[in-house]
Chain A
Amino acid sequence: MRRTLLAATVAAICPGQLAHALPVQKDSAAQKQSYLRRLTEAQYRQSVADIFGGDIKVLGNFEPDMRVHGLLAEGTTRVSITPGGLEQYESIARGIAAQATDTEHWDKVVGCLPDAADKTGIRCAAAFFERVGRQLYRRPLQPVEVKSAVDDTLASAKKLGSYQAGLGAALAGMMTSPDFLFRVERPAADAELDAWSRASRLSYFLWNTTPDTELLEAAARGDLDTTVGLARQVDRLMASPRFNDGVRAFFDDFLRLDGLGSLSKDTTIYPAFSASITNAAREQTLRTISELLVTERGSYLDLFTTRRFAMNRTLGPLYNVPVASKEWTIYEFPASDPRAGLLTQLSFLALHSHPGRTSPTLRGKAVREVLMCEEIPAPPANVNFSVVQDVSNPNLRTTRERVQAHLNDEDCAGCHRKTDPIGLGLEKFDGAGQFRAMENNAAIDVAGDLDKASFVGAAELGNVMAKSPAVASCLVQSTYRYAMGRSIAKAEKPLIDQYKRKFAQSAYRFVDLVRAIALDPSFYSSPPVGDGGPESHGKEKS
């Protein structure tokens, strides 16, 4: 619902001041620091694949994640689990446990059975839950927890007449427990996170999954408490191909690409569009980002000008380019081509359009809100849209002519001046993201401006984006909010400013920003500095 309410209500926007809304918490809110982060669907799936193997199917509908201040990551510290959601989690967990303990997977996943030396299978189950429990809960299990899982196994085995089924039932229970469904962050005595919580934060930030054995062992040895030990792990995780998963997860969230999952276009108007296109468009953007930011260790700002797009055979026809390879490949558009930068990819163009036509307002609003972290207010309730959208008026052939009405009306102009001139620069791409030279047989004028910078067309708009301080700043604060799963506390503003300076000094290399956050002690401190103190832990109080 939120998806379309946002999309649908902004056909026009409104009077009133634009808020340059850096999502900063009020101090009272910051004091309510959460240590409970619900796994996102992507994190759940990846954790299961890492623990039990990639061939285990995760079947069922997840409780939807919640987007707060533009990030699902921030919603993870707000949401709990509803009755309907828990029923689903339990069902998904049973499905996973049944596969993990079937004959095909038993040897690999469990690897032991009751035998002469272990008649009841107690030892086998205990060893299994100690090992797998540590991966599921991201910390060693307490003896009482192991005993409980073993008891569940034996009691269930008796009832079901099968040791394997009994162990599966206990495993499903473990995966329905809050210890698995939430990342429970535990402060240590010195008001920083304990080693296991550090390992978790690091692993989900860099790989978007549960800590691997090596990281857990580093945590057990206390390595993560030392500068050298931490750096060793950060370097290892970032050197791994799996670091790509972490970067992709961030950009999927930051760019709200999940919206493509429920995007529909009118296939009569855009016959080339289909569900496989939206999936490929999402993948294209993520692969383009991986290539530029991770493989090439490039500048984030170059993302707005790059002509190197990941491409496959599904997308080739929509971009009018030949794709010989059956696999994904990098295609470089010539300098004469109108495609340049993220804003000219299908994912952005189609996501921020109506089902049957473009919307300079939606596209401009997305640039402001998603990429510049500004907030554009909703339009007034009693706005009259009919001139703007009168597609049958013979005098108003292009979208530019129609949206000009926004700018002529002083009630509308305050906000629309912020959005429409950006989106108009992208008008040569239709509502499905395909190139068009004409609209209703009229030439399309793609002149526009962003703040005080003028441009003509998408490529120049990309150059303007790449020079905008707000674009760089928005990425820094979004990366930090993503890493922490919460808004930025007032007291953290100097820290964020410092990250911004470092980001500029490192030529806007995204990997350097990530590394700086991952190595910073503030990433592992529990409450935001000066905003809560030990009383917000609650550990001692209860």
Chain B
Amino acid sequence: MSTKDFKMTRRSFSLRGLLGGGAVTVGMPILEFFLDANGKAFAASQGGGRLPLRFGTWFWGCGMIPSRWVPKTVGADYDLPPQLAPLQTLRQHINILSGFNVELGAKNNQPHISGPTALRTGDPSDNWQQITAPTFDVLIADAIGSGSYFRSLDMTADGNPRTTYSFRSGSAMNASTPSALDLYTKIFGGDFHDPNAATFKPDPKIMVRESVLSGISEQRKRFERAIGAADRERLDQYFTSLREVEQKLALQLQKPPPAVACVKPQAPGAMPPGTDYTDVQLRLANHKAMSQLLAMALACNQTKAFNMVFSESASDLRHAGNTTAYHQSTHEELIDRSIGYQPSVDSFAIQSMQAWADFVEALASIKEGDGTLLDNVLVFAHSDVSMAKNHDVRGIPMMTAGRAGGRIKSGIHIAGNGDPVTRAGLTLQQLMGVPTDTWGTDALRTSRPITELLA
């Protein structure tokens, strides 16, 4: 095919290379995460070499009741208090981080906001629109996410795309995919290439899309001239996003390395419009389906970073027919003196931990290399408060699951003894290769990673 119609630009180079069947040398990111130290491709699921580093977060709202959640013993083989009972068979994979505090200094405790903003950005904020730093999951995705189809998969089981705790800035929220069907379509829909397919042929439709988007990139200078300084940052964000979509398309033009554990799942059924995901049983079901899809997305090398929300800060979960939902119960339910806690709050907390167990189980159920997918992933779970009744941000519950390819220990309980909660975020960033030695502001500033976790 003639190439004379194409201008000599970055996009025409990429088209030309593909049209001519030759090697693509320009405008294509390298699939570095599939390469070993010698630059040779390997099959991730065959245990043949370095496995991709993957990281994700898992969020639930309204915390826990400390006397019912915090293990009495520290270190390995910690005990499982009633609210952690759902983790019975998974304990060896899960670390418990208790007693780490959000120190607010002179700032007000903004209910259900101070905790998660402090924990995710190192700086408590009155609302998400006011945060200045990216949440640390974004920093980690920037460090590890390139070269995969999705820089990050952001998901929520509550049906609302606005439910997310992942922000590049106060005005750049990473909206969530809100249902199992949406998630399936995003990952396994029309753009999906089975890494184990016998043959691979670059899709001309994708070549064309990449070429057309490159054409927009090339006009960046013209846009910059047309807009004012106040809008420069937003335009930069747009072009960064455009570049990521281009890179994703470029990857789709290359034969993906095989992934033995990857099996394209069945499409989940569509939920009727107006489905009420506040019902705890429906929520658990939607969340479980999404967790299994995510696990397969990881096994199929579609992403290396993810954020899953089970329930929002100030959890909206409820039982059908009850006038009082979880969040309201935390404030309103009287403590039953005979047992010493709020019984329905306790039951919602246990159901939240059941969801966490479902999530970890989904990752652990896929074999990868000599172990499971979970061994090659690190998931960080946390809530917005500890005791929701008074919005306590001391001892916000945190956990990790997985071994990150052997970088982190698992199965231990670490008591924070009032240390700043940011020690967790710092540790995770360092584990995932974000170059930082201190993190957080004011009383939350720390340069002490949780070394007990490091393998």
- List residues of A whose CB falls within 8 A of some B CB: 1-5, 8-9, 11-12, 31-36, 61, 63-64, 66, 68, 75, 78-87, 90, 94, 148, 151-152, 154-156, 158-160, 166, 169-170, 172-173, 176-179, 181-182, 184, 186, 262, 264, 266-269, 274-276, 278, 354-357, 378-386, 388-391, 536-539, 541-542
**Which residues from chain B contact A11 at a C-beta distance below 8 Å?**
328, 331
Smallest CB separation, B120 vs chain A (Å): 12
Q: Which 6 A-B pairs have the closest CB atoms?
A: A275-B274, A538-B228, A356-B323, A268-B321, A173-B212, A389-B332
Interface residues on B, range: 35 or more
Q: With A178-B235, A267-B276, A355-B278 as given contacts, are A84 and B159 in contact (CB-CB < 8 Å)?
A: no
Find out whether the CB atom of A266 lies under 8 angstroms from the CB atom of B208.
no
Find out whether the CB atom of B314 lies under 8 angstroms from the CB atom of A8.
yes
Q: Which of A4, A151, A539 contacts B225 (CB 8 A)?
A: A539
Q: With A61-B161, A378-B110 as given contacts, are A1 and B235 in contact (CB-CB < 8 Å)?
A: no
B194 near A: Cβ within 8 Å? no
Alpha-carbon separation in the docked complex, A31 to B283 (Å): 46
Alpha-carbon separation in the docked complex, A94 to B189 (Å): 15
What does the 1/0 interface line of B146-163 toward A look like (CB < 8 Å)? 000001101000011111
B318 near A: Cβ within 8 Å? yes
B1 near A: Cβ within 8 Å? yes
Find out whether the CB atom of B212 lies under 8 angstroms from the CB atom of A266.
no
Find out whether the CB atom of A264 lies under 8 angstroms from the CB atom of B276.
yes
Find out whether the CB atom of B227 lies under 8 angstroms from the CB atom of A267.
no
**Which residues from chain A contact B128 at a C-beta distance below 8 Å?**
1-2
Q: With A2-B128, A152-B211 as given contacts, are A9 and B238 in contact (CB-CB < 8 Å)?
A: no
Smallest CB separation, B19 vs chain A (Å): 7
Q: Which of A9, A81, A158 contacts B237 (CB 8 A)?
A: A81
Alpha-carbon separation in the docked complex, A177 to B222 (Å): 12
Find out whether the CB atom of A386 lies under 8 angstroms from the CB atom of B327.
no
Q: With A159-B204, A356-B324, A389-B331 as given contacts, are A90 and B245 in contact (CB-CB < 8 Å)?
A: yes
**Which residues from chain A contact B111 at a C-beta distance below 8 Å?**
9, 378-379, 381
Q: Which of B108, B209, B227 contacts A184 (CB 8 A)?
A: B227
Find out whether the CB atom of B213 lies under 8 angstroms from the CB atom of A173.
yes
19 contacting pairs across A/B (C-beta < 8 A): A34-B234, A61-B178, A66-B129, A66-B171, A80-B171, A80-B238, A81-B237, A84-B152, A84-B154, A151-B215, A155-B5, A155-B208, A156-B211, A172-B209, A184-B227, A354-B323, A379-B111, A538-B229, A538-B232
Find out whether the CB atom of B245 lies under 8 angstroms from the CB atom of A355.
no
Q: Which of A34, A148, A541 contacts B231 (CB 8 A)?
A: A34
**Which residues from chain B contact A391 at a C-beta distance below 8 Å?**
323-324
Find out whether the CB atom of A79 lies under 8 angstroms from the CB atom of B320.
no
Alpha-carbon separation in the docked complex, A177 to B213 (Å): 8
**Which residues from chain A contact B233 at a C-beta distance below 8 Å?**
80
Q: Which of A3, A83, A276 contacts B244 (CB 8 A)?
A: A83
Q: Which of B182, B234, B242, B327 contacts A79 (CB 8 A)?
A: B234
Q: Which of B178, B230, B238 contacts A33 (CB 8 A)?
A: B230
The interface centre, meaning the residue of A83, A160, A178 with most chain B CB atoms within 10 A of its CB, is: A83
Find out whether the CB atom of A382 lies under 8 angstroms from the CB atom of B391.
yes
What does the 1/0 interface line of B242-277 toward A look like (CB < 8 Å)? 101100100000000000000000000000011011
The interface centre, meaning the residue of A84, A172, A385 with most chain B CB atoms within 10 A of its CB, is: A84
Find out whether the CB atom of B230 lies under 8 angstroms from the CB atom of A34.
yes
From 146 to 197 in chain B, residues with beta carbon under 8 angstroms from any chain A beta carbon are: 151-152, 154, 159-165, 168, 171-175, 177-178, 182
Q: With A266-B321, A381-B391 as given contacts, are A5 and B113 in contact (CB-CB < 8 Å)?
A: yes
B7 near A: Cβ within 8 Å? yes
**Which residues from chain A contact B84 at a C-beta distance below 8 Å?**
none
From 318 to 340 in chain B, residues with beta carbon under 8 angstroms from any chain A beta carbon are: 318, 320-325, 327-328, 331-334
Find out whether the CB atom of A269 lies under 8 angstroms from the CB atom of B237.
no
Smallest CB separation, B53 vs chain A (Å): 19
How many interface contacts (CB-CB < 8 Å) are there between A and B?
245
Find out whether the CB atom of B228 lies under 8 angstroms from the CB atom of A539.
yes
Smallest CB separation, B286 vs chain A (Å): 14
Q: With A36-B227, A355-B278 as given contacts, are A160 and B205 in contact (CB-CB < 8 Å)?
A: yes
**Which residues from chain B contact A94 at a C-beta distance below 8 Å?**
209
Find out whether the CB atom of B175 lies under 8 angstroms from the CB atom of A85.
yes
Find out whether the CB atom of B390 lies under 8 angstroms from the CB atom of A382.
yes
B316 near A: Cβ within 8 Å? yes
B313 near A: Cβ within 8 Å? yes
**Which residues from chain B contact A151 at a C-beta distance below 8 Å?**
5, 7, 215
Smallest CB separation, A489 vs chain B (Å): 13
**Which residues from chain A contact B114 at a C-beta distance below 8 Å?**
381
**Which residues from chain A contact B164 at a C-beta distance below 8 Å?**
1
From 63 to 113 in chain B, residues with beta carbon under 8 angstroms from any chain A beta carbon are: 108-113
Alpha-carbon separation in the docked complex, A173 to B205 (Å): 13
B455 near A: Cβ within 8 Å? no
Alpha-carbon separation in the docked complex, A256 to B97 (Å): 40
Alpha-carbon separation in the docked complex, A1 to B242 (Å): 26
Q: Which of B178, B230, B235, B323 contacts A32 (CB 8 A)?
A: B230
Smallest CB separation, B106 vs chain A (Å): 14
Find out whether the CB atom of B228 lies under 8 angstroms from the CB atom of A536.
yes
Find out whether the CB atom of B162 lies under 8 angstroms from the CB atom of A1.
yes
The interface centre, meaning the residue of A156, A275, A384, A537 with most chain B CB atoms within 10 A of its CB, is: A156
**Which residues from chain B contact A3 at a C-beta distance below 8 Å?**
160, 162
Smallest CB separation, B3 vs chain A (Å): 10
**Which residues from chain A contact B391 at a C-beta distance below 8 Å?**
381-382
What 18 new A-B contacts, CB under 8 Å, besides A83-B151, A184-B227, A537-B228? A1-B163, A3-B160, A3-B162, A34-B230, A61-B182, A66-B129, A82-B173, A83-B244, A85-B175, A86-B242, A152-B212, A159-B208, A170-B212, A264-B278, A266-B323, A269-B321, A381-B109, A386-B331
Q: With A1-B162, A386-B334 as given contacts, are A86 and B238 in contact (CB-CB < 8 Å)?
A: yes
**Which residues from chain B contact A4 at a C-beta distance below 8 Å?**
312, 314, 316
**Which residues from chain B contact A8 at a C-beta distance below 8 Å?**
112, 314, 316, 327
Find out whether the CB atom of B231 lies under 8 angstroms from the CB atom of A275.
no
Smallest CB separation, B17 vs chain A (Å): 13
Q: Which of A87, A172, A178, A266 contacts B320 (CB 8 A)?
A: A266
Find out whether the CB atom of A82 lies under 8 angstroms from the CB atom of B312.
no
Alpha-carbon separation in the docked complex, A151 to B151 (Å): 31
Alpha-carbon separation in the docked complex, A475 to B70 (Å): 51
**Which residues from chain B contact A79 at a C-beta distance below 8 Å?**
171-172, 234
Alpha-carbon separation in the docked complex, A36 to B224 (Å): 12
Smallest CB separation, A188 vs chain B (Å): 13
Alpha-carbon separation in the docked complex, A133 to B233 (Å): 26
B6 near A: Cβ within 8 Å? yes
What does the 1/0 interface line of B273-289 toward A look like (CB < 8 Å)? 11011100000000000
Find out whether the CB atom of A169 lies under 8 angstroms from the CB atom of B209.
yes
Alpha-carbon separation in the docked complex, A379 to B7 (Å): 62
Alpha-carbon separation in the docked complex, A482 to B324 (Å): 36
Q: With A80-B238, A82-B174 as given contacts, are A354 and B328 in contact (CB-CB < 8 Å)?
A: yes
Alpha-carbon separation in the docked complex, A191 to B224 (Å): 19
Smallest CB separation, B157 vs chain A (Å): 13
**Which residues from chain B contact A539 at a C-beta distance below 8 Å?**
225-228
Smallest CB separation, A526 vs chain B (Å): 9
Alpha-carbon separation in the docked complex, A381 to B115 (Å): 11
Alpha-carbon separation in the docked complex, A262 to B223 (Å): 36
The interface centre, meaning the residue of B229, B230, B312 with most chain A CB atoms within 10 A of its CB, is: B230
B295 near A: Cβ within 8 Å? no
Alpha-carbon separation in the docked complex, A4 to B162 (Å): 10
In the complex, the chain A residue whose C-beta lies closest to that of B242 is: A86
